[in-house]
Amino acid sequence: MAVDLHAIPAPDPADEAVEAALVFNRAVADETRVLRIRKAAQDRFRAEQEPAQPPFDAGTLAELLARPADPPMRAEGLIPSDAGTLVVAQRKTGKTTLELNYARSLLTGEDFLGRFPVRPVTGTVALLNYEVSGNMIARWADDVGVPRERLYVVNLRGRRNPLTHPGDRQRLARGFPDGRPRRQRRREGHHRPDGACAQVAASGWARWSPVAAVSIGAHLVGGLGLVVANRDRVGKQSGVGANTAVKTTLTVAAMASTAYSGFLGAQLAKEPNQPSDGGAVPDSRTGAKATRIQQQLRVLQWVTPVLTGAIIVLGAQQGEQQRADRLIAGRARKAVLGLRDKVA
């Protein structure tokens, strides 16, 4: 059967537009539904992961004052019973010793620091140790007299944070004799692996020192070029020769101190896993060689900036010496001094 193709009516553009709009709207509706389902699933999952906590507490001042009084202070006149306490001081001033003495007072009931009465705990005191090795904190606690069976020490230096890990939280809870600590004290410190600071600092010293030495050397070469170009003024103007000599000496010293810093940094990098309190600050566990290197770096980190600062000051003085009035006065003074020497 023959079909006359010319007899078939052409598609109506208006109908095609309507069909395309219907398809698009159906696709948008399907995708919107998928996004709603995904959002609802994310909200439900997030709610399941959040720890069980009571809602916010609020009330008028009268309502709050009508509530039962808080328990007595944990350390009378010093530490509340239901509050955090932050101890801030410079390194090596006794923060750890202070906290260990407080732990002993909480467990034995004796006055804290021999002065502040405490309300003792009946359970266990926890110490989260971010700072030193387990053996060291254990010896310190024993020297202070903390009851051995009632202090639970968690050593975390170079370890992951157990409070953000579900398995570690459960393990912590199981570690206490009664299932949970009556009083938890947290020892704040830097959460870093042993030797991390020293290694990073050593790498920085070793990589940056050559760059600094080259820059100071370029300054020295440029300065020598200026001396050659201004040799007449250096010889005839009073004060210019002395300034040039001192500036040259300081520049060479700055290059030497920078190069030596780089050498020491490379040497420190060869001492792996050296615990320290900073890139140039050793602690009691740092090896003898690494300690010696860090002590030298601690001095050099100030020597080089002081030398370069002095160079900048002398450069500014040289700029002043090039002023016309200073140039004439300097040459006149040089001539007078030369004439006086000849007369003498």
- pLDDT recorded at residue 184: 44
With a CB cutoff of 8 Å and minimum separation 6, the contacts of 136 are 284, 285
CA-CA distances (angstroms) from residue 191 to 15, 64, 132, 188, 280? 68, 39, 11, 9, 18
CB atoms within 10 A of CB 58: 7
User: Would you give per-residue pLDDT tens digits along the chain (344 residues)?
Assistant: 555 555 556 666 677 777 888 888 999 999 999 999 999 999 888 888 777 778 888 999 999 999 998 888 889 888 888 788 888 888 888 888 889 999 999 999 999 988 899 988 888 888 888 888 888 899 999 998 999 888 989 888 888 888 777 788 788 777 655 444 444 444 444 444 444 555 666 666 666 667 777 777 776 777 677 667 666 665 656 666 777 778 788 888 888 888 888 787 777 777 665 666 666 666 666 677 777 887 888 888 888 888 888 888 877 776 666 655 555 555 555 555 555 655 55
CATH number of domain containing 123: 3.40.50
- Is the same domain home to 175 and 201? no
- Is the same domain home to 164 and 86? yes
Final residue in a domain of this structure, among 187, 213, 245: 187
Domain contains 12:
no
CA-CA distances (angstroms) from residue 219 to 92, 224, 314? 41, 9, 13
- Is the same domain home to 242 and 177? no
Domain contains 27:
no
Final residue in a domain of this structure, among 168, 187, 206: 187
- pLDDT recorded at residue 100: 92
Domain contains 9:
no
- Is the same domain home to 118 and 224? no
- Is the same domain home to 181 and 207? no
With a CB cutoff of 8 Å and minimum separation 6, the contacts of 341 are none
- pLDDT recorded at residue 236: 58
- Is the same domain home to 173 and 226? no
Q: 71: burial class by Cβ within 10 Å (0-12, 13-18, 19+)?
A: exposed
- Is the same domain home to 214 and 258? yes
- Is the same domain home to 175 and 237? no
Final residue in a domain of this structure, among 155, 187, 219: 187
Beta bridge partners of 199: none
The tens digit of pLDDT for each residue in 223-253 reads: 677 667 666 665 656 666 777 778 788 888 8
- pLDDT recorded at residue 186: 43
Domain contains 314:
yes
CA-CA distances (angstroms) from residue 108 to 23, 72, 112, 121, 328? 77, 17, 10, 8, 84
Q: 102: burial class by Cβ within 10 Å (0-12, 13-18, 19+)?
A: buried
Domain contains 72:
no
- pLDDT recorded at residue 323: 59
Measured distance CA(295)–CA(206) in Å, rounded: 16
- pLDDT recorded at residue 61: 94
- Is the same domain home to 171 and 224? no
**Of 218, 216, 197, 204, nearest to 305 (Cα)?**
216
- Is the same domain home to 183 and 230? no
Domain contains 37:
no
Q: In the structure encoding, which two tokens stand for residue 218, read together?
A: 């370029």
Measured distance CA(32)–CA(228) in Å, rounded: 78
**Of 100, 169, 105, nearest to 131 (Cα)?**
100
Q: How far is CA 242 from the centre of its chain?
A: 44
Query: The domain containing residue 262 runs over which residues?
Result: 196-343
- Is the same domain home to 242 and 328? yes
Number of domains in the chain: 2
Q: 311: burial class by Cβ within 10 Å (0-12, 13-18, 19+)?
A: buried
Domain contains 55:
no
CB atoms within 10 A of CB 207: 13
Domain contains 35:
no
Measured distance CA(64)–CA(243) in Å, rounded: 75
- Is the same domain home to 167 and 202? no
- pLDDT recorded at residue 191: 41
